[in-house]
Structure 1
Amino acid sequence: MSLDDLNDDLTDAYGDLDDELSISLDRETRNELALLDAALEPEETDELVRRAIHMLFQSTVDTGKLDFQLRSGYDVTYDEYLSGMTFEEMTGADQYPTMDDERRYQF
């Protein structure tokens, strides 16, 4: 295969994206997806989108961005989500009663 064949496949894949995907893509994304489609030759373009989502998810987990977003929005980490309990619940820190500071030193 040659560069011309790649360009032809890329042009064909680029044109088919409107028919296969129900999302709108900017020019850069369409070019990248068309190139991946031409190079990797998946059964359907949807497979590339699924792979991209998996890769984005994995890199977000690996870099700690998912934990940061979860902690910011939900005050949990991904590990806490997977285990079904918070760090405090895992370590037993939440089983002690809270101190009433107003009555703490009263006898």
Structure 2
Amino acid sequence: MSLDDLRDELSDEYADVGESLEVSLDGETRNELSMLSAAMDPDDRDELLRRAVHMLFQTAVETGNLDFHLRSKYDVTYDEYLSGMTFEEMTGNQFPQPQQNDDRRYQF
């Protein structure tokens, strides 16, 4: 898969998520959400879920976990996605350097 495949799937996922999302919660998640709601007293419980997604995303970016998954599935990194170009496109496919038959480089 490629950068274009990632863009296409991201557009599809964005459309599928829409404006709201109904999520079923297991007991552990309900307990944790209840604790966060009691401690942080948000105006809306949905705000905690939005923050949780932001925090998970940020952690995945900072630890390289997102890049690992993107590289595994699409052969790109998050930085490549943001720039709209792969590393090879940015560098002009010049790395690694082609073999040069230059015997003079070892002469003193």
- 1:64 shift after superposition: 0.4
User: 1-side partners of 2:23 and 2:75: how far apart?
Assistant: 32
Partner of residue 59, structure 2: 59
SS in 2 for 1:93: coil
Q: Give the RMSD, CA atoms, in angstroms.
A: 1.3
Count of aligned residue pairs for this structure pair: 74
Partner of residue 38, structure 1: 38
Looking at both structures, which has the greater relative contact order when contacts are Cα pairs under 8 Å and sequence separation is at least 6? 2
Task: Give runs of ≥4 in structure 1 deviating > 3 Å.
Answer: none
The one-letter code sitting in structure 1 at the alignment partner of 2:44 is E
Structure 2 unaligned spans of 5+? 1-20, 95-108
Partner of residue 6, structure 1: none
SS in 2 for 1:24: coil
Structure 1 unaligned spans of 5+? 1-20, 95-107
Identity %: 72
Alignment of 1:1-107 (within 5 A): 22-93=22-93
The one-letter code sitting in structure 1 at the alignment partner of 2:86 is T
TM score, norm. by length of structure 1: 0.66
TM score, norm. by length of structure 2: 0.66
> Rg: which structure is higher?
1
- 1:46 shift after superposition: 0.4
